[in-house]
Amino acid sequence: MADVEALKREAGVEACQFVTSGMKVGLGTGSTVKYTVIELGRRIREEGLQITGVPTSIVTENLAIECGIPLLELSDVDGLDIVIDGADEFDPDFQLIKGGGAALLREKIVAQESKIMVVVADERKKVSTLGAFPLPIEITPFSHSATVRALNRILDCRVNIRMAGDGPVFTDNSNMIADAHMGPNISDPESLEIEILKIAGVVQVGLFTNMCDAIVLAGNNGVKTILNPNGKLA
């Protein structure tokens, strides 16, 4: 691909086309959507855009404050107009794997409270079948080894606790991340999501099914917007 960072920026900026004054906007987490947050801040300063945002992570919250985006608590409003977020993988049915940034629980809460979900991504995230990217699963620290064993049994693959240096990664919710190395074999993400969530120690899983309405995709030939034919923008 061409300069990946430049393409990410172009896609992140392009996604802002969906945002208009008066909207309540979910602000995603990740290396591409950060450019969306920066661009929305610019539009507020230079164009008079009037929006309020709900961040999906502490990292995004800090960036939004730095960019001058007014923020609110999701609990204080009855839903959002749109969320713009990234993805680690997406398939032809617009099903997603998310959670590479360990923000999947907050991301899914914000997504389910949003009327529309727009994903920004580059072509490396486009796959025929989900699973080459290890599936992130947020789990409770309590008896986390037992939860990992249970995941191993039902998934029949290597599941490991995500580490940072000598210790585990902890989410903004003080939970841990278990990564399931399934390979590109997730042909039925809806059923798999249900099965994983049955395990008591699982808080949330990074399968975002039937949520994405459009993908702003950056590639060597520029940026294009792909609408989900079964989504709310079709």
Q: Locate 145 and state its tokens.
A: 């080894």
Residues 159 and 172: their CA atoms lie apart, in Å, by 21
The one-letter code for the residue type at 39 is E
Q: Look at strands 167-168 and 163-164 and give their pairing.
A: antiparallel
The one-letter code for the residue type at 10 is E
Residues 108 and 234: their CA atoms lie apart, in Å, by 22
Residues 205 and 217: their CA atoms lie apart, in Å, by 24
Q: Which letter does DSSP use for residue 76 in this model? A: G
The one-letter code for the residue type at 98 is K
Residue 71's nearest CA partner among 131, 11, 20, 26 is 26
Residues 150 and 139: their CA atoms lie apart, in Å, by 12
3-state secondary structure of 34: helix
3-state secondary structure of 162: coil
Choosing from 14, 61, 107, 193, the catalytic residue is 107
Q: Is 46 a catalytic residue?
A: no
Residue 120's nearest CA partner among 206, 28, 54 is 28
Active-site residues, by number, are 107
